[in-house]
Structure 1
Amino acid sequence: MMRIAVAQFNATVGDLTGNVERILKCAAQAKARGAQVLLTPELSLCGYPPEDLLLRPDFYRACHQALDDLASRVEGIVLVVGYPEESDGHCYNAAMVIENGQKKAVYRKIRLPNYEVFDEQRYFEAGSEACVVTIAGVRCGINICADIWEPGAFELACTAGAELMLVLNASPCHLEKHQQRAQVLGERIEATGVPAVYANLVGGQDELVFDGASFALDAHKVCRMRLPQFEEALGIVDFTAGNLQSADMASELSIEAEAYQALVLGVRDYIGKSGFKGAIIGLSGGIDSALTLCVAVDALGADKVRAVMMPSPYTAQMSLDDSRAMIQKLGVRYDEIAIAPAMQTYAAMLDPLFAGLPADTTEENIQARIRGNILMALSNKTGALVLTTGNKSEMAVGYCTLYGDMAGGFAVIKDVYKTLVYRLSRYRNTLCGESGPVIPENIIVRPPSAELKPDQTDQDSLPPYEVLDAIVRAYMEEDRSPREIIAAGLPEADVRRVVRLLRIAEYKRRQSPVGIRITPRGFGKDWRYPITNRYQDEF
């Protein structure tokens, strides 16, 4: 029998000393549980993705020194660790097998992804050879992440004699991604008959969240181990006479739980790893800021979150009442700062310049920018980070104000459609137990409004969110043409309007804060739409 430990831990990019200590801690725990080998995630030594740190020769030198330090301090267990390798002027995404302080074998990733959020061909050369090592009498093949997504690397190791595949991964999540991983690994197993153990990274890194959910599939594609999502864990799986067994079998999450936990982890790690003192959120009395506030409190604790309500003459009393009710439930610091005096000052300054011109969105945007200035001033003074509250539906069509509600350092729900915002808000209320809902029902059921002019609602300017979200998803995530979207049954007038708005809002999105990605394609690293272009869509 061989006992494999799977280290699903939260690495920090560039924290080589800290990551080495995490790996050593996992190795000690694995040894105590009788494991002969410890499998770590992809690039676990340096964190993933290191991006342009990989263009620095000194970074590779530091990583190699950290690897030497790690190897010298591990005894009594074989370690499979991911690291960036520089060899004779060539750079690789690699995995080192360490045994008794010695570097026993190295595997170089064969398939380098260059799609969605991945840019590995920018940094690495592809490996070409299988790596099969004997551990506790078992012939183990090594693969890294994208190697399993197409036939080739997995089969190469099996042809070289692998009885069991060990797969290191840094696979960022989007909703239901864990099911997709099991499917593609199952395809490799079906083709070869060789079982596999899959270790995945967990934690937040800028816009990416890694959800863990490490697992093992036997030769019949049956899941024999599953670790929890969005938390660190050390899994144990036994390999005996070709069979896998484990007592670790975490339950799968609902879509709402998966999305919510991704947001919480993303906020916790962005603020924690970046060294900010806490979070500041501008409350509006609407559902977006309410959900963002809940996420922040669950991520950081109420003592590190500050909410600011900045009413204007157009703010409804209901908005104030609902915000105060939320604050009472959550226990965060709360301030109310009326912006009417600033609005009057701006009006006095600009009226001579606006003479003869009718009021329009300019005056609305000034209100948003006053609020943005107040939040950023508090951020500068306290060292806390402003969390913006715009959702994916609004970001798609530019229903947001540059230097106003877009002002801040991290966009929590930037990749959350408005329809999902409602579902997540109701989900969060189910977690409250006997204390009752945190987000007042009024916030959930009232028509959404920016409250920048009398009797304003979002639907004055936008299609119903169910229609808007369906159009954005089809155009932006699925790359379907307007003609195809209309043919699928969505109203032509709404399709034309939304596609036009989506295109002209790109200059705004380029200036928005980085935000958490939870869909297969977010407005970030994997959306690179030209701001200046004259392409005419197919209608």
Structure 2
Amino acid sequence: MLVRLAQIAPRLGNTEYNFEHCRKMVGEAAGDGVDLIVFPELALTGYLLKDMVAQVGLSTWDGKIQELSRLSGNISILLGLVEQGEDHFFYNSAFYFEAGALAERRRKGHLPTYGMFDEGRYFTQGNRVEAFSSRFGRVGVMICEDAWHPINPYILCQDGAQILFIISNSPVRGMTETGDFLSVQNWQLICRSYALLYSCFVIYVNRVGCEDGVSFSGCSQVVGPHGDVLESLPFLEEAVATVKIDLNELPKARIHSPVLRDEKFLSSIHELKRIREKTFGH
């Protein structure tokens, strides 16, 4: 399985340019024999949209979505965008295209609304955490902040996910005593931790570029089920990388470290119900 990471710098609010850029990259990847191309969160719009959200939202019947569906006849595509739902609310969504169709969509459930982040003002929360079947096996998708809530990868891997995709718009934030950026280190730690804990592949694709003085770090990466970093993209620079994912490594990793197998799933459900009853009274 060949996966291409597309670490791009979307132009804020310019859906036409961003779509054409992504479409070109999809075509190039398909020509190179790539099986799946992964773009960042909000790849078609940029991040600091504010009141532009309503202008850039796409419904599932939009022409751009239909074109991406058509292109996926030759290559699978995972891409972030602003979705205008059937309820006419707007969602920070990830669309997965495969076999000539929009196969799955996931809506960001945890909308950061603190510090520099203001997503809760403009987007509606998603409420679905579920793995799905692709031609590569069971996969799970998280959108940026979703990955900071460990219940999400827990559910996805219990639901059979062999690959966790994290698409992100993570800015450069914080500095360590050694001069490294804390935000980059945190994402590296998260990706390796989930890969090790659940013996799965983690594919993290972040954007780059600058909006209103905010720089996005990039540093996309792929981590194997043994916790080994298979590929890492540069800091602040647009880049692509093609990585071979060998799913035959999964049984080797899971025999070596059977943490996922030995998880007490029913016990977890029981304890969560107990906490719910204690906290909410039902």
Match of 1:241 among 235, 247, 253: 247
1:165-314 map, 5 Å: 165-174=164-173, 175=175, 176=181, 177-243=183-249
Partner of 1:357: none
Return closer, same or farther for 1:135/1:4 CA change in 2, 3 Å cut-off. Answer: farther
Partner letter of residue 59 of structure 1?
V
1:124-143 map, 5 Å: 124-143=123-142
1:227: Cα distance to partner? 0.8
1:231: Cα distance to partner? 1.6
Retained in 2: the 8 A contact 1:165–1:195? Answer: yes
Match of 2:69 among 43, 61, 71: 71
Partner of 2:270: none
Identity %: 28
1:345-494 map, 5 Å: none
TM-score, with length taken from structure 2:
0.78
Retained in 2: the 8 A contact 1:149–1:185? Answer: no
Retained in 2: the 8 A contact 1:92–1:125? Answer: yes
Structure 1 runs, 4 residues or longer, greater than 6 Å off:
none
Retained in 2: the 8 A contact 1:41–1:169? Answer: yes
Partner of 1:46: 45
Distance in structure 2 (CA, Å) of the matches to 1:187 and 1:21 = 35
Q: Deviations over 1:371-394 (max 9, x none)?
A: xxxxxxxxxxxxxxxxxxxxxxxx
1:240: Cα distance to partner? 1.1
Partner of 1:36: 35
1:125: Cα distance to partner? 2.1
1:114-133 map, 5 Å: 114-133=113-132
Partner of 1:360: none
Task: Structure 1: state its 5+ residue gaps.
Answer: 245-539
- Aligned pairs, how many? 241
Describe the SS at the equivalent of 1:143: strand
Retained in 1: the 8 A contact 2:26–2:71? Answer: no
Distance in structure 1 (CA, Å) of the matches to 2:160 and 2:83 = 25
Distance in structure 2 (CA, Å) of the matches to 1:98 and 1:147 = 21
Q: Deviations over 1:401-424 (max 9, x none)?
A: xxxxxxxxxxxxxxxxxxxxxxxx
Retained in 2: the 8 A contact 1:5–1:237? Answer: yes
Describe the SS at the equivalent of 1:240: coil
1:189: Cα distance to partner? 3.0
Partner of 1:110: 109
Q: Deviations over 1:198-232 (max 9, x none)?
A: 00101111111112111011223221110112221
1:18: Cα distance to partner? 0.7
Partner letter of residue 24 of structure 1?
R
1:73: Cα distance to partner? 4.4
Q: Deviations over 1:169-210 (max 9, x none)?
A: 111113512211111223333432222000010111111111
- Which protein, 1 or 2, shows the higher relative CO under an 8 Å CA cutoff with sep ≥ 6? 2
1:99: Cα distance to partner? 1.9
TM-score, with length taken from structure 1:
0.42
Describe the SS at the equivalent of 2:193: helix
Distance in structure 1 (CA, Å) of the matches to 2:187 and 2:77 = 24
Q: Deviations over 1:458-495 (max 9, x none)?
A: xxxxxxxxxxxxxxxxxxxxxxxxxxxxxxxxxxxxxx
Describe the SS at the equivalent of 1:209: strand
- The answer to whether the aligner puts 1:17 opposite 2:16 as a matched pair is yes
Describe the SS at the equivalent of 2:57: helix
Retained in 1: the 8 A contact 2:194–2:202? Answer: no
- The answer to whether the aligner puts 1:91 opposite 2:97 as a matched pair is no
Retained in 1: the 8 A contact 2:59–2:84? Answer: no
- The answer to whether the aligner puts 1:7 opposite 2:13 as a matched pair is no
Partner letter of residue 188 of structure 2?
A
Partner letter of residue 189 of structure 1?
A
1:90: Cα distance to partner? 2.9
- The answer to whether the aligner puts 1:59 opposite 2:56 as a matched pair is yes
1:93: Cα distance to partner? 1.0
Distance in structure 2 (CA, Å) of the matches to 1:159 and 1:53 = 37
Q: Deviations over 1:501-523 (max 9, x none)?
A: xxxxxxxxxxxxxxxxxxxxxxx
Partner of 2:78: 80
Return closer, same or farther for 1:237/1:134 CA change in 2, 3 Å cut-off. Answer: farther
Higher strand share: 2
Distance in structure 2 (CA, Å) of the matches to 1:137 and 1:74 = 14
Retained in 1: the 8 A contact 2:208–2:238? Answer: yes
CA RMSD of aligned residues (A): 2.1
Retained in 1: the 8 A contact 2:56–2:82? Answer: no
Partner letter of residue 234 of structure 2?
P
Return closer, same or farther for 1:156/1:49 CA change in 2, 3 Å cut-off. Answer: farther
Q: Deviations over 1:311-361 (max 9, x none)?
A: xxxxxxxxxxxxxxxxxxxxxxxxxxxxxxxxxxxxxxxxxxxxxxxxxxx
1:152: Cα distance to partner? 1.6
Distance in structure 2 (CA, Å) of the matches to 1:193 and 1:61 = 35
Distance in structure 1 (CA, Å) of the matches to 2:122 and 2:206 = 21
Retained in 2: the 8 A contact 1:20–1:70? Answer: no
1:72: Cα distance to partner? 3.6
Retained in 1: the 8 A contact 2:15–2:44? Answer: yes
Distance in structure 1 (CA, Å) of the matches to 2:101 and 2:59 = 19
Partner letter of residue 146 of structure 2?
D
Higher helix share: 1
Distance in structure 2 (CA, Å) of the matches to 1:41 and 1:139 = 20
Task: Structure 2: state its 5+ residue gaps.
Answer: 176-180, 251-282
